[in-house]
Chain A
């Protein structure tokens, strides 16, 4: 890494710095730290990686923003006292005169490398592991002695493996062909695409001559490259399937509520997207309450928001059904227009009461970051959890529809309204309840979306098309159809996106759906029965 970005004289300097930890900081490093030249100073900071405990104080000062320079002399400013780095003397300089070093991304990387070098030997296990991870991507030749000591003494296998990899990356540039072959073979066990970049020059020609003179090394490199490429292709496919499932779970959560209101009840509900929005806003309000009243339990606000998002959206649904929709059953065009109007009212209501800005929703800590499933494949927690949540909601709806009396009534009314009425099913109340449940499920969808995408007054507009797409493709009147359609579309569009890019993939998906609906207007699953409407 360093070898590729630094001018030769710096390399020479770094080379001189190599060696075991010494009593005090090397004068070259001290001088470099005080330099006004950005490159020299960065190199000096990285060189702290091999200085052990002596450099630790400097690194801590860098991280705390207490590191600065006066007249080319690197100093630490702590509590108004200015101490020279290297000699350790207290200087007679006002703290205000020191130009403190503000870290930018490049310097932060240098400091992280230095910190990793220092903790690799002496830190506790998680610290050592993190240090090894950092150094794999930022190894340099002057760290080799450190790596060798760690490989010899480290007891935790995972850490030693990483350091062996780091050392192998450095050893690729070794003069000894034997060491190069050993390094190339070791690197063949990696799943990191960055290793390919290191190995490719070994099997390339520069003009007529091979860059790597030794044929044995070339053969080993060829072998390792093939192995790594196979491994990467495998993890890529798994990742694409997962991203497809994840996209599918989001489509499903957005569409499930609609699958009930449109699919089962036959109401073309254009305000469905706004019910998602209501659910997301309810989540936002719960988050606010937790932040002010229960900050200690902030991480659990999402769980507390589940029933609230459901009931708030369901209440809005009941209001819609009682006040407008029940007068419009059986008149799809009028209900389409009326729900359009309702959606505009809801959007503007949100804009007036919460402002036109997007709202800030924080992922709880257990939904942030990712988990490494296998080497080279980490999956983000929020997507895994939302995938699980979509299955949870699905099971809930299935139980409700199949195992409860209400569910039976809903199915009965769907299949034959007059007959259900004749045998004593209160069809009007069933309609209201079914619509409320559909709206509540949309609210849950909004809660899930709030953890991934934006929350704003018009957020629902982005999902309404996708939702109808899923429901119509799956087959109106069928929950199972919506599930198949959502996950199928998710995986299909993710594979397409891999080949064609996001814009073309979106177009192709829409073209596919148009053709599919032409050929099979009833969707994937057709409802078998006498009366669909």
Chain B
């Protein structure tokens, strides 16, 4: 099964590389090269294509306003085809062959883990735009997505509050890989610290691409009979549709058993009949529905870009949290380069700490001086029937990231980071 998949991916890749490599072959040398490392084919294409788009849009925006240090940015797009080892190869190609100054890329934690050695070895610079499980701090990486304490823990606190329904029992449901496992480990320790015993926590995992949630939903229904229950879902990608459909058909409504998801955003809801999801929750650091001038500008720009570049279904494109994080990341990198006066990696890393940017989320985000993570606000949104979110709760201001969660044993010494 696995070899067959790899083989398919390898074939898909050879086709797509041939198509993508060519347009950027010849260019003048007084530009700064910027690598974009997102899967445009394979299973992750559904999420990552939008990040490539928003990165290209941001680069165009910066070029139109005069570039960086008087030089134009030149995007170098490669397609790692949702194949983790290929991420490392493409990263090496970007750093060693194309000599890019910075790379914006990766989505899954496993893809990030596979490129880390390459970035350390060749002293590259990676901006990672997706919420993740923490437990990592690399000198060559800036994390513009959320650490667990900037998403999972505030969301759980909300569910426990009177306003969030006062949940006493929790179902931790996830796809079986590193992000859900680590997040749920942190959440279990957090819930225990709040006086919720293990008997009131149900933890379940499903294989990738699982589409039959009948048994799990029946178990959740039974579990929820024991008291106010909330479901914390780290179900990934494609499994979400069958999960919510089954939930709706089984008669578990959001008012009885609310589900808060960490991997369901506007982009994922585009391919979904939202009827069974209405009222369920998602926790992010940005929603497309956030109402402020910065966001209106961001959304309008992206819509126009999608139309101008003939993105499929351009009339219905949406923006989401990782896209905002990509946008913020590129702008902060630009600011750091300007502060350092050079695009040299070491100088930029030193200049990044303390950079601020007025983000589309409506908050001014700061890059932490030491831990390479952004200070981010946490927003909890309720799914509307048009696939957008109503913000029902948010933190007062940005929260500092704790990449090493205090709820995991052995991290005590790293709390200063």
Q: Which A residues fall within an 8 A CB radius of B? A: 4-5, 38-39, 42, 102, 104-106, 108-109, 112, 137, 192-194, 196-197, 236, 239-240, 243, 246-247, 250, 340-341, 343-344, 347-348, 351-352, 354-363, 368-370, 378, 380-383, 452-456, 458-459, 461-462, 465, 494, 497-498, 501-503, 506
B14-54: contact bitstring with A at CB < 8 Å (1 yes, 0 no)? 01000000000000000000000000111101100100000
23 residue pairs from A and B, CB less than 8 Å apart = A104-B382, A105-B258, A106-B165, A108-B254, A193-B225, A196-B225, A236-B218, A239-B218, A347-B12, A348-B12, A356-B49, A358-B238, A358-B241, A360-B270, A363-B273, A369-B251, A370-B251, A380-B250, A382-B249, A452-B242, A452-B245, A459-B238, A462-B238
**CA of A101 to CA of B134 in the docked complex: distance in angstroms?**
37
Given A239-B218, A452-B245, A498-B215, A5–B228 Cβ distance below 8 Å? yes
**CA of A358 to CA of B214 in the docked complex: distance in angstroms?**
22
Specify which of B5, B227, B246 is in contact with A380 (CB 8 Å cutoff).
B246
Task: Give min CB distance, A459 to chain B, whole Å.
Answer: 8
* Most chain B beta-carbon neighbours within 10 Å: one of A193, A341, A357, A369: A357
List chain A residues, Cβ under 8 A from B43. Answer: 458, 461
B162 touches A455 (CB 8 A): no
Given A356-B49, A360-B270, A502-B216, A105–B165 Cβ distance below 8 Å? yes
**CA of A357 to CA of B266 in the docked complex: distance in angstroms?**
12
List chain B residues, Cβ under 8 A from A351. Answer: 41, 45
List chain A residues, Cβ under 8 A from B45. Answer: 351, 356
Interface residue stretch chosen among B101-109, B125-133, B201-209: B201-209
Specify the chain B residue showing the minimal Cβ separation from A341: B11
* Most chain A beta-carbon neighbours within 10 Å: one of B46, B251, B311, B382: B46
Q: Which of B205-238 contact A (CB under 8 A)?
A: 205-207, 209-212, 214-216, 218, 221-222, 225-228, 238
A344 touches B12 (CB 8 A): yes
Task: Give min CB distance, B226 to chain A, whole Å.
Answer: 5
**CA of A415 to CA of B347 in the docked complex: distance in angstroms?**
75
- 7 tightest CB-CB pairs across the interface, nearest first? A358-B271, A355-B312, A380-B249, A193-B225, A243-B214, A194-B225, A453-B211
Task: Give min CB distance, B265 to chain A, whole Å.
Answer: 13
A355 touches B313 (CB 8 A): yes
List chain A residues, Cβ under 8 A from B163. Answer: 38, 104, 106
Given A356-B46, A503-B206, A193–B222 Cβ distance below 8 Å? yes
Asked if B279 lies at the interface with its beta carbon under 8 angstroms from chain A, I say yes
Task: Give min CB distance, B73 to chain A, whole Å.
Answer: 25
Task: Give min CB distance, B274 to chain A, whole Å.
Answer: 8
Specify the chain B residue showing the minimal Cβ separation from A236: B218
Specify which of A250, A368, A494, A501 is in contact with B205 (CB 8 Å cutoff).
A501
**CA of A240 to CA of B218 in the docked complex: distance in angstroms?**
9
Q: 8 additional contacts, CB 8 Å, given A348-B12, A380-B250, A381-B249?
A: A106-B162, A194-B226, A197-B226, A239-B218, A348-B41, A351-B41, A368-B275, A461-B8
Specify which of B7, B207, B270 is in contact with A502 (CB 8 Å cutoff).
B207
Asked if B255 lies at the interface with its beta carbon under 8 angstroms from chain A, I say yes
**CA of A240 to CA of B393 in the docked complex: distance in angstroms?**
39
List chain B residues, Cβ under 8 A from A363. Answer: 245, 273, 275
**CA of A242 to CA of B183 in the docked complex: distance in angstroms?**
33
Asked if B166 lies at the interface with its beta carbon under 8 angstroms from chain A, I say yes
List chain B residues, Cβ under 8 A from A501. Answer: 204-205
**Count the A-B residue pairs with Cβ separation under 8 angstroms: how many?**
171
List chain B residues, Cβ under 8 A from A465. Answer: 1, 4
Specify the chain B residue showing the minimal Cβ separation from A490: B212
**CA of A458 to CA of B208 in the docked complex: distance in angstroms?**
14
Asked if B176 lies at the interface with its beta carbon under 8 angstroms from chain A, I say yes
Q: Which B residues fall within an 8 A CB radius of A? A: 1, 4-5, 7-8, 11-12, 15, 40-43, 45-46, 49, 162-166, 176, 204-207, 209-212, 214-216, 218, 221-222, 225-228, 238, 241-242, 245-246, 248-251, 254-256, 258, 267, 270-273, 275, 279, 281, 311-313, 382, 390, 392-393
A192 touches B225 (CB 8 A): yes
Specify the chain B residue showing the minimal Cβ separation from A39: B162
Task: Give min CB distance, B71 to chain A, whole Å.
Answer: 32
Task: Give min CB distance, A379 to chain B, whole Å.
Answer: 9
Task: Give min CB distance, B25 to chain A, whole Å.
Answer: 23
B273 touches A354 (CB 8 A): no
A105 touches B279 (CB 8 A): yes
List chain A residues, Cβ under 8 A from B275. Answer: 362-363, 368
B270 touches A358 (CB 8 A): yes
Task: Give min CB distance, A434 to chain B, whole Å.
Answer: 25
Specify which of B216, B222, B255, B390 is in contact with A109 (CB 8 Å cutoff).
B255
Specify the chain B residue showing the minimal Cβ separation from A352: B312
List chain B residues, Cβ under 8 A from A502. Answer: 204-207, 210, 215-216
List chain B residues, Cβ under 8 A from A236. Answer: 218
**CA of A453 to CA of B258 in the docked complex: distance in angstroms?**
21
Task: Give min CB distance, B345 to chain A, whole Å.
Answer: 32
List chain A residues, Cβ under 8 A from B225. Answer: 192-194, 196-197
A357 touches B214 (CB 8 A): no
Task: Give min CB distance, A288 to chain B, whole Å.
Answer: 12
B238 touches A360 (CB 8 A): no
Task: Give min CB distance, A114 to chain B, whole Å.
Answer: 13
B8 touches A357 (CB 8 A): no
A462 touches B211 (CB 8 A): yes
List chain B residues, Cβ under 8 A from A362. Answer: 273, 275
Specify the chain B residue showing the minimal Cβ separation from A497: B215
A357 touches B270 (CB 8 A): yes
Specify the chain A residue showing the minimal Cβ separation from B39: A356
**CA of A243 to CA of B250 in the docked complex: distance in angstroms?**
12
Task: Give min CB distance, B189 to chain A, whole Å.
Answer: 21
**CA of A359 to CA of B270 in the docked complex: distance in angstroms?**
8
List chain A residues, Cβ under 8 A from B227. Answer: 4, 197
Given A38-B163, A197-B226, A351-B41, A105–B255 Cβ distance below 8 Å? yes
List chain B residues, Cβ under 8 A from A454. Answer: 211, 238, 241-242, 271
Given A340-B11, A370-B249, A462-B209, A456–B162 Cβ distance below 8 Å? no
List chain A residues, Cβ under 8 A from B207. Answer: 502-503, 506
**CA of A38 to CA of B392 in the docked complex: distance in angstroms?**
13
Specify the chain A residue showing the minimal Cβ separation from B313: A355
B214 touches A246 (CB 8 A): yes
A358 touches B166 (CB 8 A): no
A360 touches B271 (CB 8 A): yes
A378 touches B165 (CB 8 A): no
B392 touches A104 (CB 8 A): yes
List chain A residues, Cβ under 8 A from B249. Answer: 368-370, 380-383
Task: Give min CB distance, B287 to chain A, whole Å.
Answer: 15
List chain B residues, Cβ under 8 A from A494. Answer: 214-215
A340 touches B8 (CB 8 A): yes
**CA of A102 to CA of B381 in the docked complex: distance in angstroms?**
13
A344 touches B8 (CB 8 A): yes
**CA of A343 to CA of B12 in the docked complex: distance in angstroms?**
10
**CA of A462 to CA of B221 in the docked complex: distance in angstroms?**
27
B214 touches A453 (CB 8 A): no
List chain A residues, Cβ under 8 A from B273. Answer: 360-363
**CA of A192 to CA of B256 in the docked complex: distance in angstroms?**
15
**CA of A363 to CA of B212 in the docked complex: distance in angstroms?**
17
Task: Give min CB distance, B78 to chain A, whole Å.
Answer: 17
List chain B residues, Cβ under 8 A from A348. Answer: 12, 15, 41
* Most chain A beta-carbon neighbours within 10 Å: one of B166, B206, B210, B212: B212
List chain A residues, Cβ under 8 A from B46. Answer: 356-358, 456
List chain B residues, Cβ under 8 A from A341. Answer: 11
List chain B residues, Cβ under 8 A from A197. Answer: 225-227
**CA of A519 to CA of B32 in the docked complex: distance in angstroms?**
63
List chain B residues, Cβ under 8 A from A250. Answer: 212
Task: Give min CB distance, B180 to chain A, whole Å.
Answer: 11
Task: Give min CB distance, B354 to chain A, whole Å.
Answer: 37
Task: Give min CB distance, B330 to chain A, whole Å.
Answer: 22
